[in-house]
């Protein structure tokens, strides 16, 4: 099982796109178990295959903090057919990455997310046409207003791509809204890298925006160009693959902080 999810070298242990690329380069492995189940432990919930707990490539047992996530991971294993396809198992890949690479360095992962607060997607606006300017404002302004009102994080906007230095106070205020447990910060990291926006990821975490709203906000410019020039099939396929991992991250955040 371990070689199926071997982490290997990559730009980030939480980079879902790199993880998928690595998995597709490996030959498929036949399903070697009959049943995937969930077992409660002293530390949380373990996913078992025929009674044996799943482990990371380094041998760490994967223990999940809440039952709903463990059940979803087990469902991915149970849904596999004659061969195991890790590409169809985003929650399993996520769980391995958290246990393998995040539990011992939560602050470093949070620092990586915080970098986006200095060059966030939402800061850089189109100057024209007016319809695109209005669409960006429709999707992005409510998140910025929320950050200012609820978090005390007041950021500066720019037209075009010229870098604007953000106030340290705004970055610190938004950083203060980050979670401090490894599973949540890992999900926040995945949502941030897939959308290009730590603020959109924070809005998802704090239930200010629903997952589909965040995803639409992250692709305003792309959707605008598609409406004008047509959909590029390769780009659409990559976006669909990214959505799978974004949806998994959104599920993790929701399961960890139920309403």
pLDDT tens-digit series, residues 32-51 = 999 999 999 999 999 999 99
* Residue for token pair 């692709």: 219
Averaged over 179-201, what is the pLDDT?
97
For 85, the domain range is: 2-103
- The CA radius of gyration of the chain, in Å to the nearest whole number, is 19
| 198 and 111 within one domain | yes
Q: DSSP per residue over 173-225, as a string?
A: HHHTTS--SHHHHHHHHHHHHHHT-HHHHHHHHTTSS-HHHHHHHHTHHHHHH
CATH code for the domain of 7:
3.30.2180.10
* Window from 8-17, 19-28, 54-63, 77-86 with minimum mean pLDDT: 8-17
Question: H helices of the chain, where?
Answer: 16-24, 67-78, 90-97, 106-114, 130-146, 168-175, 182-195, 198-205, 211-218, 220-229, 233-256
| Residue 2 pLDDT > 90 | no
Over the chain, what is the mean pLDDT? Answer: 91
Distance between CA atoms of residues 223 and 236, nearest Å:
10
> 233-256 and 90-97 are packed helices; what angle lies between their axes, rounded to 10 degrees?
60
The pLDDT, as a whole number, for residue 17 is: 60
Residue 62 shares a structural domain with residue 140: no
Find the CATH number of the domain harbouring 174: 1.10.3580.10
Q: pLDDT, tens digit, for every residue of 103-121?
A: 999 999 999 999 999 999 9
Angle at 153 between CA 109 and CA 126, to 5 degrees: 90
Residues 222 and 127 in one domain: yes
User: 24 falls in which pLDDT band (50, 70, 90)?
Assistant: low
- Examine the domain organization and report whether 142 and 96 are in the same domain: no
Read off the pLDDT band of 160 (50, 70, 90). confident
Asked if residue 168 has pLDDT above 80, the reply is yes
Contacts of residue 212, defined as CB under 8 A and 6 or more positions apart, other chains included, come to: none
Looking at the structure, tell me whether residues 160 and 121 fall in a common domain. Answer: yes
Compute CA distances 18 → 25, 138, 242, whole Å. 11, 32, 11
Same domain, 73 and 183: no
Residue 94 sits in the same domain as residue 169 = no
Query: Is the per-residue pLDDT at 6 higher than 70?
Result: no
Do 118 and 237 belong together in one domain?
yes
What's the structural domain count of the chain? 2
Is 44:73 a contact under the CB 8 Å cutoff? no
Cα 156 to its chain centre, rounded Å, is 25
Q: What is the mean pLDDT of residues 81-100?
A: 94
**126 and 68 share a domain?**
no
Quote the pLDDT of residue 3: 46
């Amino acid at each position: 099982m371990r070689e199926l999810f071997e982490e290997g070298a990559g730009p980030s242990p939480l980079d879902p796109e790199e993880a998928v690329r690595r998995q597709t380069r490996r030959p498929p492995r036949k399903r070697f178990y009959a049943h995937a189940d969930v077992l409660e432990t002293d530390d949380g919930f373990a996913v078992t295959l025929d009674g044996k707990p799943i482990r990371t490539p380094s041998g760490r047992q994967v223990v999940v903090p809440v039952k709903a996530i463990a059940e979803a991971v087990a469902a991915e294993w149970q849904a596999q057919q004659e061969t195991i396809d890790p590409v169809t198992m985003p929650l399993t890949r996520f769980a391995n990455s958290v246990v393998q690479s995040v539990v011992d360095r939560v602050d470093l992962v949070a620092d990586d997310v915080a970098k986006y607060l200095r060059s966030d997607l939402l800061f850089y606006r189109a100057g024209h046409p007016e319809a695109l300017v209005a669409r960006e404002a429709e999707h992005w302004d409510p998140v910025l207003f929320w950050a200012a009102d609820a978090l005390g994080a007041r950021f500066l906007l720019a037209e075009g791509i010229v870098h604007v230095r953000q106030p340290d106070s705004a970055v610190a205020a938004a950083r203060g809204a980050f979670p401090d447990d490894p599973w949540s910060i890992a999900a926040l990291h995945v949502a941030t890298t897939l959308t290009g926006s730590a603020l959109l990821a924070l809005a998802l975490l704090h239930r200010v925006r629903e997952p589909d709203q965040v995803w639409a906000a992250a692709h305003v410019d792309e959707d605008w160009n598609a409406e004008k020039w047509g959909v590029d099939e390769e780009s659409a396929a990559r976006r669909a693959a990214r959505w799978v991992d974004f949806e998994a991250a959104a599920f993790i955040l929701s399961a960890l902080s139920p309403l």
